[in-house]
């Protein structure tokens, strides 16, 4: 695990992908079974009270980027409602423990974001248990590679859009009813919105939609004192990649084409979500913060 607070060469801060990255799990995948295990800042993230007293929901909070965000939010002083699939319970309980060790409240809410009623209930649970919501971090996503459009089923296309776009709509709509001025929504796009891979047709399309949705919503709610922003990660080492997100044989070179020459780690994404949730970014809304290892974007 790298010390993010020490000046160092970012090209060697974490290891490059290699043969040990070549592995496969069934969807949705578990972080604790990956080799190497991604760094979500479990032993390194140090908070400074930037989110003291805040009430947050983080989707996909069991593993990967969502896990890193949930840990960072708690160590910055926020109570956190964790959303994840029931199959991810083992990873989620590790995060619950880390949040509680930080002295904050952790509310675990397993369920499927493709279900509108669950999304509404997730917001209601946060309001009931935490007394409100002022940070919504939409991180959960579905990514399954398909090499030919002829093999991309309507079922998968629908599931990818419901997980990545519809859930974001349902959650934002429900959360905004309870958000006060100073609240923030942070959505998750991808380098795929700018440099779409031919094998990620449905996923890349949703990530472009997330950018546009966020820029539109940001203008709609600005007068209410609520900000909406986006983080767009590049290739980051998470269960999404090993559970059908990429062909297994490509994982040994994962992230090697970025200017920094390696995949990112979830711990490197979390500070962007903290910044966009905190008052430090008070004059930033409708923006996409690209955290992609130096890959040019428009």
Indicate which residues carry an active-site annotation: 203
For the chain, give the number of residues. 298
Question: What are the C-alpha distances in Å from 235 to residues 64, 171, 193, 265?
Answer: 12, 26, 13, 9
Exposed / middle / buried, residue 175 (Cβ in 10 Å: 0-12, 13-18, 19+): buried
Q: Residue ranges of the alpha helices (H) in the chain?
A: 64-75, 89-101, 116-130, 154-161, 167-176, 201-221, 239-240, 266-277
Question: What are the C-alpha distances in Å from 274 to residues 45, 258, 286?
Answer: 11, 24, 16
Residue 263 bridge partners (DSSP): none
Beta strand pairing status for 227-233 and 55-59?
A: unpaired
The CA-based angle 94-97-99, given to 5 degrees, is: 110
CA 237 – CA 233 distance, rounded (Å):
11
**3-state SS assignment for residue 86:** helix
Structure tokens at 78: 């926020």
**3-state SS assignment for residue 193:** helix
Q: Do residues 235 and 34 lie in contact, with contact meaning Cβ atoms separated by under 8 Å? A: no
CA 213 – CA 234 distance, rounded (Å):
20
Q: Do residues 248 and 22 lie in contact, with contact meaning Cβ atoms separated by under 8 Å? A: yes
């Amino acid at each position: 695990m790298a010390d993010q607070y020490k000046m160092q060469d970012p090209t060697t801060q974490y290891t490059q992908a290699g043969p040990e990255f070549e592995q496969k799990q069934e969807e949705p995948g578990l972080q604790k079974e990956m080799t190497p295990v991604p760094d979500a800042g479990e032993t390194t993230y140090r908070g400074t009270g930037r989110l003291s007293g805040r009430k947050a929901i983080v989707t996909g909070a069991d593993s990967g980027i969502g896990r890193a965000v949930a840990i960072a939010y708690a160590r910055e002083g926020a109570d956190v409602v964790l959303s994840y699939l029931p199959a991810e319970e083992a990873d989620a309980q590790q995060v619950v423990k880390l949040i509680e060790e930080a002295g904050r409240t952790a509310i675990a809410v397993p369920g499927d974001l493709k279900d509108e009623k669950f999304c509404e209930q997730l917001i209601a649970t946060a309001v009931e248990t935490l007394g409100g919501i002022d940070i919504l971090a939409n991180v959960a996503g579905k990514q399954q590679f398909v090499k030919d459009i002829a093999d991309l089923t309507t079922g998968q296309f629908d599931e990818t859009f419901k997980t990545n776009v519809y859930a974001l709509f349902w959650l934002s709509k429900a959360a905004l009813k309870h958000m006060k001025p100073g609240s923030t929504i942070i959505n998750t796009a991808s380098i795929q919105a700018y440099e779409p891979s031919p094998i990620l047709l449905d996923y890349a399309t949703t990530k472009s939609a997330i950018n546009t949705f966020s820029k539109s919503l940001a203008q709609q709610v600005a007068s209410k004192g609520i900000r909406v922003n986006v983080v767009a990660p590049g290739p980051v080492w998470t269960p999404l990649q090993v559970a059908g997100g990429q062909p297994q044989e490509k994982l040994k070179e994962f992230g090697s084409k970025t200017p920094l020459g390696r995949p990112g780690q979830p711990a490197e994404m979390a500070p962007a979500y903290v910044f966009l949730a905190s008052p430090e970014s008070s004059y930033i809304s409708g923006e996409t913060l690209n955290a992609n290892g130096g890959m040019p974007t428009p």
